[in-house]
Amino acid sequence: MSYQAPVEECQFILNNIVGIEEVTKTERFEEATPDVIEAILNEAGKLCTDVLAPLNRNGDLDPARLENGVVRTSKGFGEGYAAIAEGGWIGMAADPEFGGMGLPLSVTTAVNDMMAGACLSLQLNPLMTQGQIEAFEHHASDELKALYLPKLISGEWCGTMNLTEPQAGSDVGALRTKAEPNGDGTYAITGQKIYITWADNDFSENVCHLVLARLPDGVPGTKGISLFIVPKLIPNADGSLGEHNSLKVVSLEHKLGLHGSPTAVMEYAGAKGWLVGAPHGGMAAMFTMMNNARLGVGTQGIGIAEAAYQKALAYALDRKQGRVGGTGSIVEHADVKRMLATMKADTFVARSIAFACAVAIDLGNATGDAAHKARAALLTPIAKAFGTDAGLAIAELGVQVHGGMGFIEDTGAAQFSRDVRVTSIYEGTNGIQAMDLVARKMMDGGDAAFAMIDEIEAFAESARSTQGALAEAVWQASENLRETTEWLVAQDDMNDRFAGAVPYLKAFARVLGGYYHLMAAQKGGTSRQKIARFYINRLLPEHKSLLAQVRVGNGDLADLTPDDLVA
């Protein structure tokens, strides 16, 4: 069975789990009626199933390559990109003033999920452009918006993010790239950037780089960083393209996976750039891009999880091995059922968290309500980290379901495991996401977290009459999470929070998963009730050991020295 876009699953979660109807009730998104959303998801599903999914293997076997300074992309990627651009899929959530559809981000997230499952190497390209579009909408001057946004939204031009340098990875403030004023409102950008996703291609008219650099009067650290748009080809005022800028792709990285997506070292040698946002305000603009990208990358993990599950399920249904009843296929084995049920249950959890985050972002944008914005901020690191962690674990289980054939590249199971691996590193490692959750996102004293826990407990209370022990288990898990959250926000030493940050994030995701599965059991059919029972009985209990790790604090880690680790 080849990849089939999970249109019905996305619709079920949007309509029954995360409450997209609240988004479509707002004035901003009132035109996104249920019929419109259904039609959009169906069309996107056809694109993903029929056009993009057949390209996935090409990207692995026919990698992007650098030839005489020109990036050559994988066979069929140009046609696939054209289908994405011509369908308007890049600018789904973008401002209609510049050619976007103005749709809710929650719809865009569902479409990106399906595109990532179909062909992650190619989907990375429009995701980068979407982040650039959002940064422009929030921070660019009217002149830059008018020049760049129509081209980015149409897909004629592609966008990238240039943050990382060899000596400045997660510590962005250590960057050395310089921006010198040219005296005419432009700047000369000089420096080197690494890990630049889709830094170039052979199918779009132009590639526009958002580059972090430091002005001559920029102070050391993050407060002295500014953001610049540095195009490959310098556009004229009318949007036509002029001379090549002073930038180049130095090399392409040799990667574990995502071979169809060119990841480059970029060199800027006095390249002409324009300031985006205020001088020294680059971090604010960067976080606009990063938060968009964090949800997007979490969604990529979910897309791969879906694709890996579909492939593993098809293999298990077909493979005959051992003495089992029913069909005689390995899907009848208890342990294979366990693996497949884990894959299915956790894909549902990760997708629900991501969609819930997108809905909160939409409601915050549509209403300006602080509570929705706080909910979105809380869920963003969870969506990114759990979505990608689940993608890794589910892709690995997919290999295991295949047994020996999973280790053979011909089946394609291993590609999912290789392709998804980087997502837990992209846009801030998952450890950084967890630290963000327990620090920045708890600066409110845990109010947003407690509001989420209150919601879970209230629903579990209401479900007790029909779901019995399952509802009780979810209620108790949320209460356990509440008690640990109270302990966490009481810690003044941030290292005591950071030492347990990763298990805390995972525990929070586990409890959210219990909530969403309980809701699915209430609103779905028999199969959803059975998968909910599996999750709540077998996977939800993991939250207890995770929360126990959180409350240990930093003492045992602080006692460890480098010598202890070497010995």
Q: What is the mean pLDDT of residues 199-210?
A: 97
Q: How far apart are CA 359 and CA 43, in angstroms?
A: 21
Contact (CB, 8 A) for 211 and 189: yes
pLDDT digits (tens, 9 = 90+) for 482-537: 999 999 999 999 999 999 999 999 999 999 999 999 999 999 999 999 999 999 99
Where does the chain hold its CATH 2.40.110.20 domain(s)?
A: 158-280
pLDDT digits (tens, 9 = 90+) for 244-279: 999 999 999 999 999 999 999 999 999 999 999 999
Report whether pLDDT(340) > 80.
yes
Question: In degrees rounded to 5, what are phi and psi of residue 122?
Answer: -80, -40
Q: How far apart are CA 80 and CA 55, in angstroms?
A: 8
The single residue listed with the structure tokens 């909530």 is 515
Kindly report the pTM of this predicted structure: 0.96
- β-pairing, 206-214 with 157-162? parallel
pLDDT digits (tens, 9 = 90+) for 151-168: 999 999 999 999 999 988
- β-pairing, 263-276 with 247-252? antiparallel
Measuring CA to CA, how many Å separate 546 from each of 76, 390, 484, 497, 560? Answer: 45, 16, 10, 13, 21
CATH architecture designation of domain 439-556 = Up-down Bundle (1.20)
| Confidence at 1, pLDDT banded by 50, 70, 90 | low
Report whether pLDDT(169) > 90.
no
Least trusted range by pLDDT, from 92-101, 138-147, 276-285, 365-374: 276-285
Q: What is the mean pLDDT of residues 137-156?
A: 96
pLDDT digits (tens, 9 = 90+) for 319-328: 998 877 778 8
Question: In degrees rounded to 5, what are phi and psi of residue 449?
Answer: -65, -45
* Average pLDDT of the residues of the chain: 96
Does domain 158-280 correspond to CATH entry 2.40.110.20? yes
Q: What is the mean pLDDT of residues 87-102?
A: 96
| Confidence at 222, pLDDT banded by 50, 70, 90 | confident
Q: What is the pLDDT of residue 242?
A: 95
Q: How far apart are CA 227 and CA 141, in angstroms?
A: 12
Report whether pLDDT(287) > 90.
no
Helix (H) or strand (E) holding 160: strand 157-162
Report whether pLDDT(88) > 70.
yes
User: Partners of 267 in the beta sheet?
Assistant: 192, 248
Q: What is the mean pLDDT of residues 27-53?
A: 97
Where does the chain hold its CATH 1.20.1270 domain(s)?
A: 439-556
Report whether pLDDT(93) > 90.
yes
Q: What is the pLDDT of residue 316?
A: 96
Q: What is the pLDDT of residue 414?
A: 97
Q: Give the active site residue among 134, 165, 427, 457.
A: 427
Torsion-angle region of residue 266: left (phi > 0), alpha (psi -120 to 50) or beta?
Answer: beta
Report whether pLDDT(58) > 80.
yes
Q: Determine whether 4 is exposed, middle or buried from the number of CB atoms within 10 Å of its CB (0-12, 13-18, 19+).
A: middle
Closest CA to 189 of 283, 266, 285: 266
Known catalytic membership, residue 396: no
